[in-house]
Amino acid sequence: MSSQYKRDLYLICRSTKDSKLKSYSKTYCRILSEVIKMAKKLHYNKLIINSNNKVKTVWDIVKMETKKKSNYDVR
């Protein structure tokens, strides 16, 4: 919902020259990105705490975030 509102706000800002609206949009984007970072951090911490093999879980998260794939899976 927040991302959709951000997109709508961007489209409105693009067509207007209102400086207050643009500063509001910039502040909203900054707050939204911090909320997303915190949500990811909480999610990943929960995964690590609840795992049996913490090192493997951490590396799986690193691979997922960096979009790396293993070269050993080639057949």
pLDDT at 75 over 50: no
Query: pLDDT digits over 5-58, tens only?
Result: 999 998 898 898 888 999 999 999 999 999 999 999 999 999 999 999 999 999
Task: Collect all residues with Cβ–Cβ distance below 8 Å to 32 and sequence separation of at least 6.
Answer: 2, 3, 6
Question: Helix 19-49 crosses helix 2-15 at what angle (to 10 degrees)?
Answer: 160
Domain ranges of the chain: 2-69
